[in-house]
Structure 1
């Protein structure tokens, strides 16, 4: 019998970056379990529209991780956060040979300082029995074409998790590191160079399959609900890193 980790029905899950992609799939699963869910996006109307798809116990709010004032506004309207997940990302295709410092700086701001600042603003609202999950990425170990900045940022997320797990205890803090995920926008709309990269990743996996969005959701729910896990980085790449 397949069993998924379950959130409390009265728990409040906040997914920053949850108006699209894997964040939205997580929010959908949590709402299906009866949890209260808040999803954010940079555009308030878009976030509200996505939240409406999740039912009456969900809401959508605006949030830009590069804007401290926006983070303050977000948490002013929130009572308690049982679980915080940050999936938000600024995609930046950058190389050292053709380095665009302005684009790199914005991306790093969002996924390093922005992640830390979001947790700082959430801290007064975090339940002591709650948890935080930050999204990293496999590019810190296996760079993809143009992933220079992303590789740096994903590595930084792991360092941040190590620090927060100690500093925020008893709140638990973990990271998840997805590999290439089948059925996502990045793969479905990949250019030929990236499509070849993703196929290589698939071939690297022992079972010759990439993880699906549902695999990532199940892994995040495990991290959110397992009281014995903190300071960990859970790699969900179907074993691609082994070969």
Structure 2
């Protein structure tokens, strides 16, 4: 299978440009804000067929009971439960036949 292009979706920072360059090929960089899952479908609207979808590292937070931060906890839950699902749901009709479907 030939990959026509790769899309690297990552939060904006200097390392995201480096990652896109290191992947090589016809890599296109998109920025998704996983803390705002309502924006994900629009951000992925211009992406064509999807051969592989990987959701990898996210920002890590330490939230102990002694120093519990409700806003930080809500952000983490939103990313892990809502945004991950939306990131798969939004392009699911464009997953190629060899790709697993949810």
In the alignment, which residue of structure 2 is the partner of 1:110? 79
- Of the three residues 3, 10, 23, the one matched with 1:41 is 10
Shift of 1:117: 1.1
Larger mean Cα displacement after TM superposition, 116-125 or 63-72 = 63-72
Larger of the two Rg values belongs to structure: 1
Shift of 1:45: 6.9
In the alignment, which residue of structure 1 is the partner of 2:25? 56
Instruction: Give yes or no for the alignment of 1:65 onto 2:65.
Output: no
Aligned length in residues: 102
Alpha carbons of structure 1 residues 83 and 56: separation in structure 2 relative to 1, 3 Å: closer
- Of the three residues 57, 78, 89, the one matched with 2:58 is 89
Query: Quick check: 2:41–2:86 contact (8 Å CA) kept in 1?
Result: no
Alpha carbons of structure 1 residues 74 and 47: separation in structure 2 relative to 1, 3 Å: farther
Looking at secondary structure, tell me which structure has more helix per residue: 1
Instruction: Give yes or no for the alignment of 1:124 onto 2:87.
Output: no
Distance 2:13 2:50 in 1: 20
Give the TM-score of the pair, scaled to structure 2: 0.80
Q: Matched residue of 1:115: which SS?
A: helix
Distance 1:45 1:80 in 2: 27
Shift of 1:114: 0.8
Distance 2:43 2:37 in 1: 10
Shift of 1:51: 1.1
Instruction: Tell me which of the two structures has the higher relative contact order, counting C-alpha pairs closer than 8 angstroms and 6 or more residues apart.
Output: 2
Q: Which runs of 5+ in 2 are unaligned?
A: none
Distance 2:91 2:77 in 1: 20
Query: Quick check: 1:52–1:59 contact (8 Å CA) kept in 2?
Result: no
Q: Matched residue of 1:95: which SS?
A: coil
Distance 2:68 2:13 in 1: 32
